Structure 1
Amino acid sequence: MTRIELQSRETQPDHQHVWDMLERERQRPNSNIFRAIANLPDVLDRFIPMANAIRDAGGLDAELRELVIIMTCLTIGSSYEEGRHWNIAVRMGVPKDKLAAIWGFEHSSHFDEREKAVLRLARQTARAPAQVSEDVWRDVERHLGSGPALAVLFTVGWYKMTACVTGPLDLDDEPGFTRL
């Protein structure tokens, strides 16, 4: 059971701009993460633009970004975000058997060397950021370039931050949410 009241247009009539922004950004205003963060309307007001900036940063391709997010969520135990991004990846055309193999990516034929390098960086960064090895960083930088490699780090950091909200709040799935 979620540990905080989830807000809505009806419960926050003074903050209609927040709900309008979510709709304008084609976000789901009924998503529990947004409804929880809406308890701090000024934070939510900045949350979506920052999420968009990180999502679009550095030329990281969308499929690779979703793999990074899923690996981050699995590493830190963030089931709320992992479920949503699993569905996003499936809708993008990522095969379910590839997603199911992500934790054991090192020994899976589903992943190419570029993806394996990025998943190593995502896992190491999610576990212990200051302990990412030089070899892991250089391998990703060689495959992607500096900008997209940095975008991987921002993506991991963003989803670690959201897990610090969704986890302690014991955020429930929205009614009707189904993992594809």
Structure 2
Amino acid sequence: MRVTKARIQPLDPKDMSEETREIAAKAGKDLNIFRTMANHPKMLKKFLVYGGYILAGSTLPARERELVILRIGYLCQAGYEWTQHVRIAREAGMSDEEIRSCVSGPQTPGLSAADKALLQATDELHHDQHISDAAWAELAKHFSEQQMMDIVMTAGQYTMVSMALNSFGVQLEEGEVQWNV
């Protein structure tokens, strides 16, 4: 974790207005990310709509989505994001070896061509905010046009989320331990 204590305190549900509790409940889980964002209910409401699409409505299969999210979380040094999405990746059926490939990136030995293309595109988006023609062509061998659009938007969404988590100082939930590689 980059910051060892919260800069913006997560709200206890009892300290939220009824409207804010209703908005936060739409997240489906009582997590520090949502309790922190509850300090700005209007933003949280909009965040949940788009974040919900990326996490549960996009054209990317869960495993591929988590490869992008974990790689971005690692590149952004977002410990909270990384730890939350290791759990989600495991729920999506990813092995620890696949999760570790999100640390070593597209150079990881033994990656499938699709995984390598996905991690390469994610790296380029992070470092250059652009996917090169070569990486785009490689992605196109494995993903539909809509999936490629969702890859870009997923990397962008989780870059923004990582920036917020790192800057707000969102801490892991009580009793949770950061998953290390």
Using the size of structure 1 for normalisation, the TM-score is: 0.88
Matches within 5 A, 1:105-116: 105-109=106-110, 111-116=111-116
Match of 1:11 among 10, 15, 21: 15
How many pairs does the alignment contain? 174
What RMSD in Å do the two structures reach over aligned CA positions?
1.8
With over 3 angstroms needed to count, the CA separation of the structure-2 counterparts of 1:50 and 1:58, relative to structure 1, is closer
- In structure 1, what is the equivalent of residue 65 of structure 2? 65
CA distance in 2, matches of 1:42, 1:7: 15
Unaligned runs of 5+ in 2: none
- TM-superposed deviation, 1:152: 0.6
Q: Is 1:164 the counterpart of 2:166 in the alignment?
A: no
Between 100-109 and 115-124, report the one with greater CA deviation.
Answer: 100-109
Using the size of structure 2 for normalisation, the TM-score is: 0.87
Unaligned runs of 5+ in 1: none
CA distance in 2, matches of 1:12, 1:32: 14
- TM-superposed deviation, 1:91: 2.3
Give CA deviations for 1:57-82 in whole Å, capped at 9, x if unaligned. Answer: 54110000001100011112111101
- In structure 1, what is the equivalent of residue 101 of structure 2? 101
| Structure with the higher fraction of residues in helix conformation | 1
| Contact 1:57–1:151 (CA under 8 A) maintained in structure 2 | no
CA distance in 2, matches of 1:76, 1:86: 15
| Contact 1:3–1:171 (CA under 8 A) maintained in structure 2 | yes
Q: Which runs of at least 4 in structure 1 moved beyond 6 Å after TM superposition?
A: none
